[in-house]
């Protein structure tokens, strides 16, 4: 009998325990389709990252000690322990009765979210394992704990649809992308903050329109986004230990990551029209809402925000999205015609991205204290 049988990832207090529970479940149940989807590596699918762990380990958090200790104390108190599992609030899901296109897009959403959560888990766990710096390893242990719970919970939802992402298999087989630590900060900080903005925007919308809550997992989004919020706070503090990270030519990198993360979200969400229709959400409204919230939050550490009110911004996003849709269609076509169409669509996508990147950013002063409260 497995020592972890009967236990749930939501109750795991360390990432190791969470993953052992997930592994025990993998043995009982596994689905190739879900794992294959999670394995896919395209520009738009969530990636796994690796970095220079020694450099990360050498960070000294002394300059931000006061805020650091408060944040860590809150994470150690573990307000969400036991939260990420099904309870009496989990309504029955009629997977068979679900409209097929919605089902397809929603499953894609769940698999991609599970992969993204797990990508964070793997990176954070590796940092914890490799490091010797007590502050850094403690933070990464706590964040990995949370992400393992999040991924485990999405897998619970997938399992009801007869699917499951094999997390152990992904760890071993999915391709890892190397990013220098500073790029990890820019990308991960943003993905945590945009994750918060995405989850809270859907949660607030469904509070007002419960008739659109077609799946119970959305009820968990509030506590969920609070975890992501804390993770973002941690990365803001890490960046604050070295002011150079947010000055000089690094501001161009910040702008690049802002544009890439926002652009990717826009394109990816527009691939799921039925999903957004079922939620009663216009994807253009949703994107703008999420960008607005994310921009407001990132002012805590970044000296620029993208000018998302500039008419060129929306036009550029639409061009980027159209080029990506054409690219996907050209891949389906195949043959020489498909090849020509692919080249044309790739060029247009690149041009649209450059166009977005070149819109002048808005500058502002960064406050002395980075500390934020989840305010939305
Ligand atoms: Fe998460
Ligand atoms: Fe997170």
> How many other CB atoms sit within 10 Å of the CB of residue 138?
15
Ligand approaching nearest to the C-alpha of 150: 1
The closest ligand to the CA of 224 turns out to be: 1
Distance from the alpha carbon of residue 310 to the mean position of ligand 2, in angstroms: 30
Gap from CA of 100 to ligand 1 centroid (Å): 28
| pTM, to two decimals | 0.91
Q: Kindly list the distances between the CA atom of residue 257 and the CA atoms of 254, 305, 306, 310, in Å, as whole numbers in the listed order.
A: 5, 11, 11, 18
Ligand 2 centroid from CA 228, angstroms: 4
Please check whether residue 278 is in contact with residue 103, taking contact to mean a CB–CB distance below 8 angstroms: no
CB atoms closer than 10 angstroms to residue 37: 19
d(CA 127, CA 55): 11
Name the residues around ion ligand 2, CB cutoff 5 A: 192, 228, 231
pLDDT for 1 equals 41
Rounded distance from Cα 141 to ligand 2 centre (Å): 12
Question: What six digits make up the tokens of 371?
Answer: 């500390």
Quote the CA–CA distance of 364 and 305 in Å, as a whole number.
8
Centre of ligand 2 to C-alpha 14, Å, is 15
CA of 373 to the centre of ligand 1 (A): 18
**pLDDT at site 42:** 62
Which position has the token pair 């997977």? Answer: 95
Residues having C-beta closer than 5 Å to ion ligand 1: 117, 147, 150
pLDDT for 369: 82
Count the Cβ atoms, other than its own, within 10 Å of residue 106.
24
Q: Mean pLDDT in the chain?
A: 92
How many whole angstroms from 228 Cα to the centroid of ligand 1?
6
Ligand nearest to the CA of 235: 2
Q: What is the pLDDT of residue 27?
A: 66
The widest CA-to-CA distance across the chain, in whole angstroms, is 61
Which ligand lies nearest to the CA atom of residue 188 in the structure? 2
Using a 10 angstrom Cβ sphere, with 0-12 exposed, 13-18 middle and 19 or more buried, the burial of residue 83 is middle
How many Å apart are CA 233 and CA 368, to the nearest integer? Answer: 14
Nearest ligand to the CA of 114 is 1
State the ligand closest to the CA atom of 154.
1
Q: What distance in angstroms lies between residue 249's CA and the mean position of ligand 1's atoms?
A: 30
Element (H, E) at 334: none
DSSP annotation string for 192-241: HHHHHHHHHHHHHHHHH-GGG--SGGGGGHHHHHHHHHHHHHHHHHHHHT
Quick one: pLDDT at residue 213?
Answer: 97
Please, what is the Cα angle at 128 between 126 and 129, to 5 degrees?
65
Ligand nearest to the CA of 199: 1
Whole-number Å distance, alpha carbon 117 to ligand 1 midpoint, is 5
Specify the DSSP class assigned to residue 140: H
What spacing in Å lies between the alpha carbon of 98 and ligand 2's midpoint? Answer: 30
The tokens describing 48, both together, are 């796994």
Helix (H) / strand (E) element for 245: namely none
Separation of 370 CA from ligand 2 center, angstroms? 18
Terminal-to-terminal C-alpha distance of the chain: 45
SS (H, E, C) 266-313: HHHHHCCHHHHHHHCCCHHHHHHHHHHHHHHHHCCCCCEECCCCCHHH
CA dist., res. 362 & res. 304, Å (int): 5
Contact of 228 with 117, CB cutoff 8 Å: no
What is the whole-number distance in angstroms between the Cα of residue 119 and the centre of ligand 1?
9
Instruction: Quote the ligand 2 centre to 331 CA distance (angstroms).
Output: 33
Domain map (residue ranges) of the chain: 9-250+269-300
Ligand number with the minimum distance to the CA of 229:
2
Along the chain (376 residues), what's the average pLDDT of each consecutive run of 10 residues? 66 88 72 69 76 95 96 96 94 93 94 92 94 96 96 93 86 89 95 96 98 97 95 96 95 98 96 97 98 97 97 98 95 91 96 98 89 83
Q: How many angstroms separate the alpha carbon of residue 283 from the centre of ligand 2?
A: 23
Q: How far apart are CA 193 and CA 200, in angstroms?
A: 11
Q: Which residue has the tokens 């950013």?
A: 361
Distance 140 CA to ligand 1 centre (A): 13
């Amino acid at each position: 009998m497995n020592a972890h049988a009967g236990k749930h990832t939501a109750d795991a207090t360390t990432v190791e325990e969470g993953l052992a529970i997930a592994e025990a479940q993998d043995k009982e149940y596994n689905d190739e389709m879900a794992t294959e989807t999670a394995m896919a590596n395209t520009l738009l699918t969530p990636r796994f990252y690796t970095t220079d762990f020694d450099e990360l380990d050498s960070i000294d958090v002394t300059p931000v000690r006061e805020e650091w200790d408060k944040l860590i104390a809150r994470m150690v108190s573990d307000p969400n322990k036991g939260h990420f599992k099904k309870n009496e609030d989990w309504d029955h899901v009629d997977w068979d009765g679900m409209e097929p296109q919605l089902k397809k897009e929603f499953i894609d959403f769940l698999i991609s979210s599970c992969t993204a959560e797990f990508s964070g888990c793997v990176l954070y766990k590796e940092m914890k394992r490799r490091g010797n710096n007590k502050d850094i390893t403690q933070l990464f242990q706590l964040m990995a704990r949370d992400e393992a719970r999040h991924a485990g919970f999405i897998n619970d939802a997938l399992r009801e649809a007869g699917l499951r992402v094999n997390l152990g298999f992904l760890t071993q087989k999915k391709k890892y992308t190397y990013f220098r630590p500073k790029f990890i900060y820019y990308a991960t900080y943003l993905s945590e903050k945009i994750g918060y903005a995405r989850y809270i925007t859907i949660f607030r919308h469904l509070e007002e329109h419960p008739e659109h809550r077609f799946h119970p997992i959305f009820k968990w989004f509030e506590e969920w986004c609070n975890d992501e919020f804390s993770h973002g706070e941690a990365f803001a503090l890490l960046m604050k230990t070295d002011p150079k990270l947010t000055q000089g030519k690094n501001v161009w990198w910040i702008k690049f990551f802002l544009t890439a993360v926002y652009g990717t979200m826009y394109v990816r969400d527009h691939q799921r029209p039925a999903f957004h229709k079922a939620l009663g959400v216009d994807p253009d409204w949703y994107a703008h809402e999420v960008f607005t919230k994310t921009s407001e939050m990132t002012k805590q550490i970044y000296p620029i925000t993208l000018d998302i009110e500039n008419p060129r911004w929306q036009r550029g996003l639409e061009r980027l999205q159209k080029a990506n849709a054409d690219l996907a269609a050209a891949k389906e076509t195949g043959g020489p015609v498909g090849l020509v169409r692919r080249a044309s669509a790739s060029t247009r996508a690149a041009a649209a991205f450059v166009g977005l990147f070149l819109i002048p950013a808005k500058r502002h002063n960064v406050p002395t204290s980075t500390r934020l409260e989840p305010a939305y």
